[in-house]
Amino acid sequence: MLVAWTTVATAADAERLAVGVVENRLAVCVQTEGPIRSFYRWEGRVERSEEYRLQFKFLESQQSALEVYVHRHHPYQSPEWIVVRAEHVGEKYLSWAIAVPTSSTL
């Protein structure tokens, strides 16, 4: 199982992305949280933003389609997209994730 993160500026954007991903069966679960505060350098200046973080849980077979979808529907010019492999996933959770239909309706 893989886990990925991105951030968006509004709760509405977070919900739109999360629902779209789950409806299209590109991740088994998406969690949103926020607002959070982000500090970063953009165009030579230190910026501060209030953002909403999305955490995607998905199977390796969903990775390419999920990344394409998120980049296509993300409101940012240069969206954060970080993916890590889960070192351990509980057996019951993984069984549930595998049982969730993963064929996209796209």
What domains are defined for the chain? 2-89 (3.30.70.120)
Q: Supply the mean pLDDT for the chain.
A: 94
3-state secondary structure the chain: CEEEEEEECCHHHHHHHHHHHHHCCCCCEEEEEEEEEEEEEECCEEEEEEEEEEEEEECHHHHHHHHHHHHHHCCCCCCCCEEEECCCCCHHHHHHHHHCCCCCCC
Residue-wise pLDDT for 17-60, tens only, equals 999 999 999 999 999 999 999 999 989 999 999 999 999 999 99
- Statement: the pTM of the whole predicted model exceeds 0.95: no
Residue-wise pLDDT for 71-89, tens only, equals 999 999 999 999 999 999 9
- Between 47 and 105, the more confident residue is 47
